[in-house]
Structure 1
Amino acid sequence: MSLFKNFVIVGAGGLGSFIVHELLKRKVLGKVGEVTILSRSVAGLERFSAQGAKLIPLDYNDVKPLATVLRGIDVVISTVGKPAVPMQTALARVAKDSGVKLFVPSEFGMPTIGGTTGLWGLKNSQRVALEQMGLPYALFFTGAFTDTSFGPDLGFDLSKGQVNLAGSGSNLVSFTSRMDIARYVVHVLTTLSPSKLENAIFRIEAERATHVDILQQYEATTGKTLDITHETVDSLRNTVAKDPTNFRAAMFLGFEAGNGVVGTLDELSNDAYSNWHPQTILDVLLSPESVSA
């Protein structure tokens, strides 16, 4: 069985750096061939170059020169943020013309299929474009990033024992850490046959829980009593009405609407990696590296 061996990662900040790390681990073992990083700036990525990755600056406004770079590449993995999501269509066209076999667009969150507005609509349109051009894709719906979802910017200052919880906090949410997402993504891309990856949708989660339950578990485990205040749903709606780009308000309103999980339990793809064993939410929150430690 012929497996995918050569990879390009677009964007190596945040989640992308974790994926590069996992690919390079497999490169050492001979399970991955070429690992190329395309980034607007390669400054600060020298550690990956020292481990065998190629670093190539990428102008998001002109991807046509990448045709030569993408020849011989099996898979393109995009981890770009919202501002760069629209350029994925042009990148995918160049990838298809260059012989790339699989495109992984920047999803890595809640399901976007059928989305019509905001980031969800934008990402859904990218998937439709891939279908129309005939370039096989794989989508990874991973839920919220556990390791970035409980920081002060979202209302959680656990080190000080203070929480400003947006909304009721009573809706189930899927959580997965970026490290575990990277482990899963690289595992399936390097072990499953191409036929099982083409136009596949992977719905994964380390754990699903409500914010109320998570905070109660945190208190019970640590012995700390948190000072918890609530921001009402109406307040969140007013925030979004004034600023539709407000990430915190939009995300928690999505949770209130029941859009916080990656799918039903029967739809989960966790078993595609039988030895995955991802970190629990508390594992991450109690880790010394946690943003909320």
Structure 2
Amino acid sequence: MSVYKSFAVVGGGTVGLPIVNALAAKDVAVVLLSRPGSSKKTVPSNVQIVEVDTADAAAVAEKLKEHKVDVVLATTTTAAAGAQNSLVDAAKLAGVKLFVPSEYGIPTEGHSEGPLGAKAQIAAYLKSVGIPSTRIYTGGFIEFIPWLVDYSSGSTIKVIGKGETPLSVTSIGDIAGFVAHILTTLPPSDLEDRVLRLQGDRSTLNNLAVLFKTSVERVDSIGGEGGEFKTALQHAFESGAGSTGWDVVKQAEGTGSDAAGSGNALWPGHQWKSIKEAHNL
């Protein structure tokens, strides 16, 4: 049985707001920490929006103490992963019991550079200051598949490389529901200093063309807005890193609790949304 009763979510974006909604549906105390001047968010009536400079550890700590927060969940973007340092400091000052860092993507263990390295460093920092953490790998977001392969209705699936390496994808709704479920039902021993690997569905980039009833277009890069990032992601996926079970050190898939989708078992009976269901294929 969970001992966590009060939650603070930092960031009300793609993953953050759904997590806020999912936690609110569990009838627990939830606050959304928002930077002054941020766009207004629509949240359930039992959620409080608290404006605070999230870069000011002392100020954040005061808000966490005021609301008696047990768990802090960071949902910042990959590009802003390093900004979590001040949140960790605030959590330490406030005596927070658990910190859920902003992972929600491909595995970051073993990385030392770039955005993935920044996420790995946050996990190391949490351990160094003595705050238990739960890291959640989700793979790509199912909803973002068309964005990743530059697909629009009737067009081709753009693939860099062979496109034969399996990758994990999970729907945003399933991610939010999973987070709310485990934090409100499981004991700390199942969550502290754990890495949880989700997988709503699994596919190769080539197979996406079959699912979307179109063809593959081989490209060297993807242009347009976000093209550089999409290109980098596809290169990473080609290496195997798109699987939530990928071990970057061993360059191989993990087994047992390190296998892709092994974390799904913590939500027994849940039906995970498939690519076909998410896109009405």
* Superposition TM-score tier, normalisation by shorter sequence: 0.7 to 0.9
The letter for the 2-side match of 1:254 is A
Matched with 2:4 is 4
Q: 1:168 to 1:16 in 2, by over 3 A?
A: same
Deviations 1:68-119 (A, max 9, x none): 2111111000000134321212211111121110000000111101101211
Matched with 2:73 is 77
Written as runs of structure 1 = structure 2, the 5 A alignment for 1:54-203 is 54-71=48-65, 72-151=68-147, 154-157=149-152, 159-203=153-197
Distance 1:155 1:167 in 2: 15
How far did 1:149 drift?
A: 2.2
Distance 2:136 2:268 in 1: 17
2:230 equivalent among 226, 248, 251: 248
Q: Secondary structure at the match of 1:149?
A: helix
Q: Secondary structure at the match of 1:43?
A: coil
How far did 1:164 drift?
A: 2.2
TM-score normalised per structure 2: 0.88
Q: Secondary structure at the match of 2:159?
A: strand
How far did 1:276 drift?
A: 1.9
Question: Is the Cα–Cα contact under 8 Å of residues 2 and 185 in structure 2 kept in the other structure?
Answer: no
1:231 equivalent among 198, 219, 222: 219
Question: Is the Cα–Cα contact under 8 Å of residues 155 and 166 in structure 1 kept in the other structure?
Answer: no
Distance 1:269 1:26 in 2: 20
Q: Secondary structure at the match of 2:26?
A: helix
Matched with 1:38 is 33
In proportion to residue count, which structure has more helix? 1
Q: 1:148 to 1:165 in 2, by over 3 A?
A: same
Instruction: Specify every segment of 5 or more residues in structure 2 that has no aligned partner in the other structure, as ranges.
Output: 246-253
2:243 equivalent to 1:261: yes
| Most deviating of 79-88 and 5-14 | 79-88
Matched with 2:15 is 15
The letter for the 1-side match of 2:88 is A
How far did 1:147 drift?
A: 0.5
Question: Is the Cα–Cα contact under 8 Å of residues 107 and 139 in structure 1 kept in the other structure?
Answer: yes
The letter for the 1-side match of 2:26 is R
The letter for the 2-side match of 1:38 is L
Matched residues, number: 264
Question: Is the Cα–Cα contact under 8 Å of residues 71 and 100 in structure 2 kept in the other structure?
Answer: yes
Distance 1:136 1:214 in 2: 38
1:52 equivalent among 46, 55, 66: 46
Percent identity over paired residues: 32
Deviations 1:244-276 (A, max 9, x none): x93111111111111110114633111110122
| Most deviating of 260-269 and 91-100 | 260-269
Question: Is the Cα–Cα contact under 8 Å of residues 110 and 142 in structure 1 kept in the other structure?
Answer: yes
Distance 1:86 1:112 in 2: 13
How far did 1:61 drift?
A: 3.1
Question: Is the Cα–Cα contact under 8 Å of residues 63 and 90 in structure 1 kept in the other structure?
Answer: yes
Q: Secondary structure at the match of 1:9?
A: strand
Q: Secondary structure at the match of 2:91?
A: helix
The letter for the 1-side match of 2:140 is A
2:269 equivalent among 265, 269, 275: 275
Distance 2:79 2:238 in 1: 25
Deviations 1:162-203 (A, max 9, x none): 332233221100000111111111101111001211101110
Q: 1:218 to 1:265 in 2, by over 3 A?
A: farther
How far did 1:208 drift?
A: 1.2
